[in-house]
Amino acid sequence: MGSILQCMDCGQQYPINQLIYTCDHCGGLLDVRHDLASVKHTINRELFDARLGSNPSKTPYHSGVWRYKELVYPDLDEKLIVTRPEGNTNLYRFSSLQNWVGSECLYLKHEGENPTGSFKDRGMTGGVTQARSLGMKQIACASTGNTSAALASYAAQAGLRGIVFFQNSNVAIGKLAQAVAYGAMCVRVDADFDRNLELVRELSIELGIYVLNSINPFRLEGQKTIMFETIQQLDWNVPDWIVVPGGNLGNSSSFGKALCELFEVGLIDKLPRLAVIQAAGASPLYRAYQNGFEHFESMKAHTVASAIKIGNPVNYAKAVRALRDTNGVVEMVTDQEIMDAKAMIDASGIGCEPASACSLAGTRKLIAAGIIHPSETVVGILTGHVLKDPDAVVNYHSNTMEDVVANHPNLLHDVGDDVQQIRTLLKSNLA
Ligand SMILES: *Cc1c(COP(=O)(O)O)cnc(C)c1O
Ligand SMILES: [Zn+2]
């Protein structure tokens, strides 16, 4: 038996190459399901270790996604794969950041080191590959920015027409610039992300366009590899906690699926706990968590972290499943906490965009609350690159943000062409 699509609610199955995004019977979200019972006998840690650091001649296995092809898309014809390659991102450990959050063992996995600067590339290689497999010629997404940047890049590489829908305000300039540069058709709509996603879904069916938002289950298959790679980088040791920002909840969902599958095939023997961190102004999952997932209410989203400014996450049901499977928790952090945590990550020399800093801010809060113990091993996911949102950096450090005070400012110094003035400035600032 090969891979299939399966509804997470009613269990209805569909052929893997059917053009379908949600269940025809009940509207539920679809999962890609592989025949893990037979895949299990073809993989082991040594196979994946042997592919590490391989040369482009070993394509696609030099990709941090396709290294795990057996767990991502086992029966796929390799010739269809569109890869930059992606993944192979670093795991950092800084004592300054550990001290700041009160952890004895904190790793940060920097997904901003992907080809277009965010983890979205891991999903996009899966989704664009499926577009090719289906013979689609046009691909589209609605995006807060990073999905568009990734889609534009992979569409260009695959020779497909890329179409991206942005809201006409608050799109971080680095992301908009990428989509334009890589040649996608860029449509700015006078509507927020949640509405843009509705529009894309409606128009795509009508116009024969393949939708690559994270409702697309093939994207989540690619994003699973963040977990595979993290655990491989820890020499197949399982951390106690995985901490990840939550917006549309594609990552949270895919992490839960990845961990359950690693367990099922016997590559790990316990699961880490998942901690999903939302911005206070875009926290529908957090609110539902507080009532034991009894009811869900969407909200109008507001946050400086534009990548997670989402009030109606499409993958809500899958994220709840992931949290239940991993005994997970949900926390929320204010824009102030996000930007202060970002300043700490930036000052450590690696940097990240605002949304990514939820991982550090959330870890700090969960340790202070006694939920994460200082001796537990934590892996925080940094989802995007510092240059994605340069305005956020400059505005924070010049203390011109509306609702955020710069608690860790690195002030810019303006001086005239005057050696004495500059000398005085340097002397007063240097040891
Ligand atoms: C997309 C994105 C997120 C949110 O991820 P979800 O899977 O939608 O929850 C967080 N940070 C960055 C940088 C992103 O691009
Ligand atoms: Zn169904």
pLDDT in tens, 217-241: 999 999 999 999 999 999 999 999 9
Does pLDDT of 1 surpass 80? no
Q: How far is the CA of 247 from the centre of ligand 1 (A)?
A: 6
Ligand nearest the Cα of residue 29 is: 2
Per-residue pLDDT, 86 = 97
Q: Which atom of ligand 1 is nearest to the CA of 223?
A: 7
Ligand nearest the Cα of residue 27 is: 2
Tokens of residue 285, six digits: 């999952």
Per-residue pLDDT, 171 = 87
Residue partners of 102: CB distance under 8 A and separation at least 6: 364, 367, 368, 374
Q: What is the pLDDT of residues 296-328, one digit of tens each?
A: 999 999 999 999 999 999 999 999 999 999 999
In percent, how much of the chain has pLDDT > 70? 100
For 12-58, strand residue ranges (E) read: 13-15, 30-33
Per-residue pLDDT, 214 = 83
| Candidate of 146, 306, 332 to mutate for ligand 1, largest count of ligand atoms within 8 Å of Cβ | 146
Per-residue pLDDT, 169 = 79
Per-residue pLDDT, 418 = 97
Rounded CA Rg of the chain: 21
For the chain, what is the mean pLDDT? Answer: 96
Ligand nearest the Cα of residue 246 is: 1
Q: How far is the CA of 160 from the centre of ligand 1 (A)?
A: 24
Pocket of ligand 1 from Cβ distances under 6 Å: 118, 120, 146, 214, 245-252, 307-308, 353, 355-356, 383-384
Q: What is the pTM of this model?
A: 0.97
Ligand nearest the Cα of residue 9 is: 2
With cut-offs at 50, 70 and 90, classify the pLDDT of residue 193: confident
- The predicted model gives 162-169 an average pLDDT of 89
- Directed axis angle between helix 146-158 and helix 173-181, to 10°? 10
Euclidean distance between CA atoms 400 and 279, whole angstroms:
20
With cut-offs at 50, 70 and 90, classify the pLDDT of residue 189: very high
Q: Whose CA is nearest to atom 5 of ligand 1?
A: 247
Q: What is the pLDDT of residues 236-288, one digit of tens each?
A: 999 999 999 999 999 999 999 999 999 999 999 999 999 999 999 999 999 99
Euclidean distance between CA atoms 129 and 143, whole angstroms:
19
| Candidate of 120, 122, 153, 251 to mutate for ligand 1, largest count of ligand atoms within 8 Å of Cβ | 251
Sign of torsion, CA 350 355 361 367?
negative
> Is 287 exposed, middle or buried, given 0-12, 13-18 or 19+ CB atoms closer than 10 A?
middle
- The predicted model gives 363-374 an average pLDDT of 98
- The predicted model gives 403-429 an average pLDDT of 94
Give the CA distances from residue 191 to residues 101, 168, 174, 348, 388, in Å, rounded to whole numbers and listed in that order.
37, 7, 20, 37, 22
Q: How far is the CA of 22 from the centre of ligand 2 (A)?
A: 8
Reference 115, options 385, 310, 424; nearest CA is: 385
CA 26 to chain CA centroid, nearest Å = 28
Q: How far is the CA of 306 from the centre of ligand 1 (A)?
A: 9
Does pLDDT of 32 surpass 80? yes
Domains, in order of start, for the chain: 1-33 (no CATH), 91-117+219-397 (3.40.50.1100)
Q: Whose CA is nearest to atom 4 of ligand 1?
A: 247
Q: How far is the CA of 255 from the centre of ligand 2 (A)?
A: 22
Q: How many helices (H) and strands (E) does the chain have?
A: 17, 13
Reference 230, options 212, 251, 215; nearest CA is: 251
* 281 secondary structure, DSSP code: G
Please give the order of strands across the beta sheet that includes 161-167: 185-189, 161-167, 138-142, 210-211
Does pLDDT of 431 surpass 90? no
Per-residue pLDDT, 56 = 86
